[in-house]
Structure 1
Amino acid sequence: MGAENIFTAQIAALYLGPVGTTAPDGPTVALAPAWKNVGLFTPDSLAWSGDPEFSETEAHQSPNPVKVWQTKDANNLEVELLEWSAANFMAVYGGGTITSVTPSGGGAAYYKFTPPSIGTRTEVAAVLELGDGTRRMRRIIPRCMQREGVAHELGRDASATLPLNLSLLGNDLGTAPFYDVFNAAFSSFAPPEED
């Protein structure tokens, strides 16, 4: 117990890849090329939330439930992306296509983004990387999907952001929807020694 166990996410990076991309085998090993860094995001936007749901049995003899069990779980990773790119646009809209268009009557070529149609949103995998001094951790998310609507504030006095809100999806029964890996500098995570 002590101040050495306090964690401040001084550095953060978020990587997205296709579902099934090989997860990094540890908190500091190089990521496979399929993982793409989303780039810069606002310093106060990175957030994680969990929202479990429970059912309960009540009995006349007790003012408190006599049995409680979890029925659902919901986890979300949110961040406001600063970099407008084709990959980030497709991430925040849940897919879609980017095409290069050459006007038939001449003129400069341009890029066209078409959002995904209903039923064609794509799932992604995610790796969230955090660091504080020499301590490094990664949160590995095998499957997630952008399930929120996209709202842009396009004022002239602030940079416009792309809101990414990833909802975790389930995997095979018994497989965690996410897991964390920590380097040895997180000594407080070492399992207790057995007598």
Structure 2
Amino acid sequence: MAGDTDNPRLWEGADFYAAPVGTTAPTDVETALAAAWLAVGLLSEDGASESRDQDSTDHYAWGGKLVRTTKSKHKRTIKVTCLEDNLVVFGLTNPGSTATTTGGVTTRTIKVPKSDPRAFLLELRDGEVTKRRVIPKGEVSEVGEVTLSDSELQAFELTITIYPAADDTLYLDITDDPQAVVTP
């Protein structure tokens, strides 16, 4: 059987960050993040998931022979579930809302959500291997149902729609994974 048992990845640790669009992104896996990158806190053990959606149209020649397929309306999303109800998560789930604290009591004023694009960074770890997925521009497009219960953790499932840059770049993956090395 061909292959190397060191190559499959099981991401044992992860952190997810949000920052204003245009925040300096890392260019390696070791440099500390700029202060503007704020951690969302604990994530669900379910991890993160990426989804792709696009329209495809098949084009046929006379007689029914497939000659081409065109693609359009490509959409990419990433989904994470945050387990903390901190200020970062509050801002992502309620853009345009406010929170104030007076005398140890915090009041959150929830408003109809406004558009609030952000930069995102997902950092994954598998032993000595690290991968940073830098999303220069995206937006929380969906917040899953939040359960308030004595038998389930309160969690905030966020779906983030990734917006492409002018050159069609969706995100950058920066890794020190030896299997990702490009040889000339």
Superposed pair shares fold, TM > 0.5: yes
Displacement of 1:92 after TM fit? 2.1
- Aligned pairs for 1:87-106 (under 5 A) are 87-93=88-94, 95-100=95-100
Name the CA distance, whole Å, in 2 between partners of 1:31 and 1:116: 31
CA-to-partner distance for each residue in 1:150-174, whole Å, 9 max, x for gaps? 42111210111112110111221x2
1:180 aligns with 2:173: yes
Q: Please say if residues 92 and 150 of structure 1, whose CA atoms lie closer than 8 Å, have aligned partners that are also in contact.
A: no
**Alignment partner of 1:170 is 2:170:** no
User: In the TM superposition, what whole-angstrom CA distance separates every residue of 1:56-90 from its partner, at most 9, and x where no partner exists?
Assistant: 31123345x31112212111111111110122012
1:189 alignment partner in structure 2: 180
1:45 Cα deviation after fit: 4.3
Equivalent pairs counted in the alignment come to 182
Q: Which runs of 5+ in 2 are unaligned?
A: none
Q: What TM-score, normalized to structure 1?
A: 0.85
Which structure 2 residues correspond to residues 137-156 of structure 1 after superposition, within 5 A?
A: 137-156=131-150
Stretch deviating more after TM superposition (139-148 or 48-57): 48-57
Unaligned ranges ≥5, structure 1: none
User: Considering only CA atoms, is the larger Rg found in Structure 1 or Structure 2?
Assistant: 1
2:42 maps to 40
The answer to whether residue 112 in structure 2 is matched with residue 121 in structure 1 is no
**SS of 1:87's equivalent?**
helix
User: Are the aligned partners of 1:92 and 1:163 in contact in 2 as well (CA < 8 Å)?
Assistant: no
Cα displacement (A) at 1:192: 2.9
TM-score of the superposed pair, with normalisation by structure 2: 0.89
8 Å contact kept, 1:100–1:111: yes
Of the structure 1 ranges 42-51 and 126-135, higher mean CA displacement relative to structure 2 is found in: 42-51
Give per-residue Cα distances to partners, 1:3-54, cap 9 Å, x unaligned.
1111111111101000010110112211110000111011014211122322
User: More strand by proportion, 1 or 2?
Assistant: 2
Structure 2 letter corresponding to 1:92:
T
2:170 partner letter: P
Q: Percent identity among equivalent residues?
A: 25
